[in-house]
């Protein structure tokens, strides 16, 4: 999963935030198994700042270190949009990235069904390639293709199920 | 641009007040295999039945080689189904009283061939589908995988221009299902037949050249990104 894109998406959804708030939002929505380290958040935000995808919206001085409030730039919004509309390279264990994309698409008012269909087409394209390769391959090659095909099929089932539950998911994430 | 062999536009079909098809479009070219996917109850089998002229749509048009199906008489539509269309269903639907070779010969006999001639023409299809060894068995005496290959041989025997396959591997295990798909698509390519393949299995759909999805009675073409 691309942490940078996810943090950008969260900034787009909720407006300017501090790094600490971004970490909390990330962990709450996507970090069930692996919450972000503070270091990851700040190094990612520095990179996004350097690349012009976020800007400093304000600095608060307090008892401790200065706290920067970040805002997404137009370039950042374009970057998130590009990431959301580009299908992932089909590979096993994609679900956490796809889930993140779907939730962010819903949160930012984009077409999550379109995103899922685009991904579905990309998965089927690879499945067609593997099926063609199987036809002419030897048994060992066929078995390797089969392994990939079963994983892709599992992803596709998840895509179908998520498409069927999109309305419910939209209601939950927007609640 | 290649002309479509079979085209449907704006199909609507309502069963008991519920639309099974609600503005579905479809087009297939000669020699092309198109997978029709979608959740249960989405309307994909209804689409296949309309395309094949088995049930008429309430609205919309279907044309085969430029002729509207609705403009044909019942007799013309039946003749079209017998001579130009082939069918494979989830359960082979072989005639249990007939042997396998007699089953494959049946559509040829319906086109007017004599018994001996029809059975002679049927044999190569049984060989092509690798079930020649059960030619004189009845469907109850062979496995599900063999039965489905006989059903494919029967669908191909009249060298149809379009094969309608409705969940053709739905009752088979993975290995038998794949073999049926390999043989079906290879034979269709050789004879330049188009295949309308209704399936809910992605691995089966991967044998097709492209996919359309049916959701809530509407079709959506998912062209692969390339």
Could you report the predicted ipTM of this complex, rounded to two decimals? 0.81
Q: Which residue has the higher pLDDT, A32 or B204?
A: B204
Q: Which pLDDT does position A79 carry in this prediction?
A: 95
Residue B4 lies in a domain: yes
CA of B197: how far to CAs of A39, B36, B147, B184, in Å?
A: 52, 6, 18, 11
Residue A62's pLDDT is what? 65
How far does the CA of residue B39 sit from the closest CA of chain A (Å)?
8
Q: What is the CATH number of domain A1-78?
A: 1.10.10.10
Q: Residue B226: its pLDDT value, please?
A: 41
| Beta-carbon separation of A131 and B223 below 8 A | no
Q: What is the pLDDT of residues A57-114, one digit of tens each?
A: 988 776 666 688 999 999 999 999 999 999 888 766 666 788 899 999 999 999 999 9
Rounded average pLDDT over B49-78: 93
Residues from chain A contacting residue B222 (CB–CB below 8 Å): 117, 120-121, 124
pLDDT at residue B85 in the model: 95
Q: How many domains is chain B partitioned into structurally?
A: 1
Query: Does the distance separating the beta carbons of B213 and A118 come in below 8 Å?
Result: no
Interface check for B187 against chain A (CB to CB < 8 A): the answer is no
Contact (CB, 8 A) for A90 and A152: yes
- CA distances to A166, A169, B97, B106 from B20, rounded to whole Å, are 21, 26, 35, 32
- Give which of B196, B225, B226, B217 is closest to B89, Cα–Cα: B196
What is the rounded average pLDDT of the residues B143-163?
Answer: 93
- All residues of chain B having their beta carbon less than 8 Å from the beta carbon of residue A87 are 225
**From the list A122, A150, A164, which residue is nearest B225 (CB)?**
A122
Contact, A122 vs B225, CB < 8 A? yes
Can you give the length of chain B in residues?
A: 226
- Cα(A73)–Cα(A79) distance, integer angstroms: 10
CB of B69 closer than 8 Å to CB of B63: yes
Distance from CA of A15 to the nearest CA of B (A): 33
Q: Which residue has the higher pLDDT, A135 or A101?
A: A101
Question: CA–CA separation, B146 vs A152, rounded Å?
Answer: 28
Interface of chain A toward chain B, CB-CB under 8 angstroms:
87, 117-118, 120-125, 127-128, 130-131, 135, 149-150, 152-153, 156-157, 160, 164
The 10s digit of each residue's pLDDT in A13-45 is 989 999 989 999 998 888 766 789 888 999 999
How far apart are the C-alpha atoms of B5 and B226, rounded to whole Å? 25
Handedness of CA B71, B193, A120, B48 (dihedral sign): positive
pLDDT at residue B43 is higher than 60: yes
Q: Is residue B199 part of a domain?
A: yes
Average pLDDT, chain B: 91
Q: Domain range holding B62?
A: 1-84+163-171+192-225
* Per-residue pLDDT at B224 exceeds 60: no
Q: Which residues contact A75 (CB under 8 A, 6 or more apart)?
A: A51, A52, A53
Measured from the Cβ of residue A133, the count of other Cβ atoms closer than 10 Å reads: 14
Percent of residues, chain A, with pLDDT higher than 70: 93
If pLDDT is split at 50, 70 and 90, which confidence band does A119 have? Answer: very high
Q: Which residues pair with A56 in a beta bridge?
A: A70
At what angle are helices A112-136 and A166-174 packed, to 10 degrees? 140
Paired tokens of B64? 């085969």
- Rg value, chain A, Cα: 19
For B8-53, give the DSSP string: EEEEEEEETTEEEEEEEEEEEETT-EEEEE--TTSSHHHHHHHHTT
């Amino acid at each position: 999963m691309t942490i940078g894109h996810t943090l950008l998406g969260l900034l787009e959804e909720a407006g300017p935030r501090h790094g600490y708030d971004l970490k909390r939002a990330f962990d709450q929505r996507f970090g069930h198994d692996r919450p972000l380290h503070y270091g990851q958040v700040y190094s990612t935000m520095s990179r996004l700042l350097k690349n012009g995808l976020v800007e400093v919206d304000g600095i608060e001085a307090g008892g401790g270190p200065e706290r920067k409030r970040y805002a997404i730039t137009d370039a950042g919004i374009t970057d998130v949009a590009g990431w959301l509309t580009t299908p992932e390279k089909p590979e096993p264990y994609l679900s956490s990235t796809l889930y993140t994309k779907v939730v962010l698409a819903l949160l930012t008012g984009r077409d999550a069904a379109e995103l899922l269909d685009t991904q579905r087409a990309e998965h089927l394209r690879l499945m067609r390639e593997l099926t063609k390769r199987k036809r002419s391959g030897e048994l060992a090659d066929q078995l390797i293709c089969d392994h990939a095909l079963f994983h892709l099929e599992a992803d596709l089932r998840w895509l179908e199920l998520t498409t069927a539950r999109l309305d419910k998911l939209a209601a939950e994430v927007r609640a | 641009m290649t002309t479509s062999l079979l085209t449907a536009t704006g199909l609507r079909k309502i069963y008991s007040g519920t639309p099974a098809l609600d503005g579905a479009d479809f087009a297939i070219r000669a020699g092309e295999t198109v997978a029709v996917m979608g959740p249960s109850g989405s309307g994909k089998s209804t689409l296949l039945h309309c395309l094949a002229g088995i049930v008429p749509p309430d609205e919309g048009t279907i044309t085969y080689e430029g002729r509207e199906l609705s403009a044909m008489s019942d007799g013309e539509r039946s003749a079209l189904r017998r001579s130009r269309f082939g069918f494979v269903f989830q359960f082979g639907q072989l005639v249990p009283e007939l042997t396998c070779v007699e089953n494959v010969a049946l559509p040829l006999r319906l086109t007017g061939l004599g018994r001996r001639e029809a059975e002679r023409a049927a044999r190569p299809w049984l060989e092509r589908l690798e079930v020649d060894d059960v030619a004189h068995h009845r469907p109850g005496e062979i496995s599900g995988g063999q039965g489905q290959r006989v059903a494919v041989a029967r669908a191909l025997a009249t060298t149809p221009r379009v094969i309608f396959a409705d969940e053709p591997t739905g009752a088979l295990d993975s290995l038998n299902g794949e073999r049926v798909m390999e043989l079906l698509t290879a034979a269709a390519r050789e004879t330049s037949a188009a295949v309308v393949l209704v399936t809910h299995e992605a691995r089966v759909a991967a044998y097709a050249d492209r996919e359309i999805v049916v959701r809530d009675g509407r079709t959506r073409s998912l062209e692969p990104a390339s």
